[in-house]
Amino acid sequence: MLSTTTTTLLLAAASLVAAQTPVNGSDNFSNPAFKAFTGDPFQKHTLTANGINASFIPYGARITNLYVCDQNGTYQDVVVGYDNATQYLIDSETNHTYFGPIVGRYANRIMNGTFEIDGQTSHIPNNEHGGLNPLHGGFVGNDQQNWTIASQTGNSITFVFYDQAQQGFPGDLLNVATYTLTDEPAWISRMVSIPLNEATPVMLANHVYWNLGAFVNKEAITVLNDTLYMPYADRIIEVDSILIPTGQINMTNGTAFDFTHGKQIGSDIFQPLSQGGLNGSSYDNAFILDRPRYAMEDPALEVLRLSSPSTGIQMSLQTNQQGLQIYTCGGQNGTIAVKADQQHMANTTYVERYGCIVIETQDWIDGINQPQWGRDQYQIFTPTTEPALNYAKYTFSTLK
């Protein structure tokens, strides 16, 4: 039986889709939320609540700034990005860092860029590792789309993107992303994806680069001194030399990947992080959340806590997802300057190696090609199933 919330979403989506039926083959829809994007995709839209404010742009439904108070009561911007929002387009065409957007239709990597559903094989453009695999949905993923603003209030904004079988994915997909700030203070991200005519894999994710130290001093130039706690991350997906799952799942206990009791990110990062062919001194790994059976998809379950000693800012993450991709910015090389409000020292500060951490709430990477894992119900969606829902709540506080 469908939940009341899901039924409401489906009815609302159905009325919107009915209102936007193409005329004479045109892709221009009568409902404003589904018309071709107009306006400035790089205009910042700022939301506020008690103790928090954040800005977003339509290009990628992307977060560009998030300010919360440090232990001294000073507002700090804790996400990495650019002051000039047009720089995100330049970034997509050059470094392609994925600073702050929604990635998808299928986040992370797909083995060989292929998968099969109901006997039909789909081919996604391989945009990583010299054409060996796709990353975050192919050459032009959700991060490079101009999402339409469907609604906005003082503390909430809703973006819509109608994906018409882009990048080789089967079928049309209606995506609705609502970002809300609350007085706790917290940022809530709710992404709903509804297949309209075919079965399709769906795994959207927020791709935010965090630095809770906000680069306030030399120790906060990296996140190595930050404490990361993931109480349910008992297992990790083994990957090969290009970060594609081998099919093997390993325990984290007693390894450099064990954050179940909390430790500094840099505690074990310089050990050889051997994961089935991957050896390096940076994390870029898919952790499995072995959630309690009573809370398998409970969005209120805290699955991660991150804190910085430099600012005292602490972030708690609650989500309905059963996996986390953790990336400690091993690919950053000090060529991108941090934003003006993050420049706290005499010389210009740049985003160095380990200068940030990405936390992607998602299901198990490449689960569509690993049938032995049994992930289809969490990754394959059809017009007759409940929609895909990715819920994440980031609550901020300061260390006592």
pLDDT mean over 35-52: 92
- 16 pLDDT higher than 50: no
In angstroms, the CA 118 to CA 116 distance is 7
Least confident piece of the model among 45-54, 263-272, 370-379: 263-272
The overall average pLDDT reported for the chain is 92
225: which 2 tokens?
A: 């001194």
pLDDT band at 308 (very low <50, low <70, confident <90, very high): very high
Q: 303 pLDDT band (50/70/90 cuts)?
A: very high
Distance CA 92, CA 37 (A): 19
User: Do residues 124 and 140 make contact, with C-beta atoms less than 8 angstroms apart?
Assistant: no
pLDDT tens track for 175-233: 999 999 999 999 999 999 999 999 999 999 999 999 999 999 999 999 999 999 999 99
- What is residue 276's predicted lDDT score, i.e. its pLDDT? 62
- Do 357 and 210 contact (CB within 8 A), yes or no? yes
The mean per-residue pLDDT over the stretch 393-398 comes to 98
- pTM, to two decimals: 0.92
pLDDT band of 400, cuts 50, 70, 90:
confident
Distance between CA 74 and CA 296 in Å, rounded?
37
Residues 278-291 pLDDT 10s: 667 899 999 999 99
Residue 3 has pLDDT above 70, yes or no: no
116-129, pLDDT tens digit by residue? 999 999 999 999 99
pLDDT tens figures, 365-378: 999 999 999 999 99
Measured at the CA of 16, the angle between CA 10 and CA 17, to 5 degrees, comes to 85
Tens-place pLDDT, residues 332-347: 999 999 999 999 999 9
**Catalytically active residues, by annotation:** 207, 360
